[in-house]
Structure 1
Amino acid sequence: MTNSALLVMDIQRGIVGRFPENVTADYLTRVGTAIDAARATGTPVVHVVIGFRAGHPEVSTRNKAFGAVAGSAAFVEGDASADIHPALTPQPGDVVVTKKRVSAFAGSDLDMVLRGAGATHLVLAGIATSGVVLSTLRQAADLDFGLTVLSDGCLDGDAEVHRVLTEKVFPRQADVVTVDEWVKAGAERQAG
């Protein structure tokens, strides 16, 4: 798995808080399992977060996704909404990349970090399936990365959209597996 990197995207307090606690508790446990497995196999863990400067100078009012946060403290460094959820706190050796738009590559140095690590294959987990995961998958495919999506390592506010993406759309450009399947495959590669 050393040519892979696990991208854990937008799992921040301000985003996780939009979902019921009974949903997020199991979800965070699953993503934590994927992170632990990545670390155990030497796979780089990259936490990707959305973040802006105070006053949101990067955000145009024409941007439907982010225009509503302009002028607030949302997702500004130092505001609790921008913090990575404490259940998935980065550890020494993890990398944190800040992006400015939906895709993990938009307005970030993610491509440089991945190339520096020698990563040619990305494993994607994050919130939301229809947001950061979809946008990052599309851009990563165009950049010729191999891709795996952890279907239950992704979360979306619309269960049907999540299902269609993970069952019908993502398989065109990525392998789609569960966290348990990915962990088991990594353990078998380590033992083999």
Structure 2
Amino acid sequence: MQYHNSKTALLVMDVQNGIVSNLGENKEEALTTYQKVIMAARQHAIPVIFIRVGFREGYPEISPKNKRFSSVLKYGGMTVLDEATQIHESVKPEVREAIVTKYRISAFAGSNLEIILRSQQIDTLVLSGISTSGVVLSTLREAADKDFQLKVLADACFDTNKEVHDVLMDKVFPSQADVLNVQDWIDTLNER
């Protein structure tokens, strides 16, 4: 059991104040789901790694050519010290849990995530996050190219476009990951 757990990590991606607030009526459901997933991982000694997006003052990481992030140059905010970039209080990381700051969509982009994973000999990633068509998709593709085994928790991924979420879960992700729901993942942990 310990060998298995030392090889797996749960990624909780972009569950930060400025992004959670975009979930609208799904916010409470999402936060409850993340609490359940995180608690299960902790109970089974699976490392929980929190991923957030944030930038340094002056935004040296943002190119005006970047369609997604260039609006930050115009409107400001999103620095690593801003409230919007902090992990949501309801899923607060414990002292020894890593918080990785990324500078693009993928959890690997410009971050130290891969160093953390390799240092801990982690070869399996369990993905959860906001949004399915953003951080989850980009991280899944890059992690698959890096030869990680992947699981995606379908009901711990949220997107403002349900149709896109469903297509990714049903048609795209299964070619590179096992797609399952939170309770099924917890049940497999409890069987060990």
TM range (shorter): over 0.9
1:129 corresponds to: 132
- Taking only aligned residues, the RMSD between alpha carbons, in angstroms, comes to 0.9
**Structure 2 length as normaliser, TM-score?**
0.95
* 1:60-79 equivalence runs, <5 A: 60-79=63-82
Q: Distance in 2 between matches of 1:72 and 1:49?
A: 19
**Paired letter, 1:53:** R
Q: 2:87 aligns with which of 78, 84, 87?
A: 84
Q: Does 1:48 align with 2:51?
A: yes
Q: In the TM superposition, what is the alpha-carbon distance from 1:93 to its structure 2 partner? A: 2.0
Of 14, 18, 40 in structure 2, the residue corresponding to residue 14 of structure 1 is 18
CA distance in 2, matches of 1:172, 1:133: 14
Query: Could you tell me which amino acid in structure 2 is paired with residue 183 of structure 1?
Result: I
Report the number of matched residues.
188
- Which residue identity is paired with 1:118? Q
Please give the per-residue CA displacement for 1:16-68, whole angstroms capped at 9, x wherever unaligned: 11121x31101111111111111111110000110100121110111011000
Q: Report the Cα offset of residue 73 of structure 1.
A: 3.8
Structure with a larger share of its residues in helix: 2
**In the alignment, which residue of structure 2 is the partner of 1:28?**
31
Q: 1:164 aligns with which of 159, 162, 167?
A: 167
Question: AA paired with 2:181?
Answer: T
Q: Name the counterpart of 2:141.
A: 138
The alignment's TM-score, normalised by the length of structure 1, stands at 0.95
Q: State, as a whole percentage, how many aligned pairs show the same letter.
A: 47
Supply the AA of the counterpart residue of 2:153.
Answer: L
Secondary structure of the structure 2 residue equivalent to 1:76: coil
Distance 1:135 1:98 in 2: 15
Output the CA distance in 1 between the equivalents of 2:139 and 2:39: 22
| Cα drift, residue 71 of structure 1 | 4.6
1:39 to 33, 37, 42: 42
Q: Check whether the contact 1:38–1:44 (CA below 8 A) recurs between aligned residues.
A: yes
Cα displacement string for residues 112-162 of structure 1 (whole angstroms, at most 9, x for unaligned residues): 000111100000000110000000000000000000000011000100000
Between the aligned partners of 2:182 and 2:61, the Cα distance in structure 1 is 34
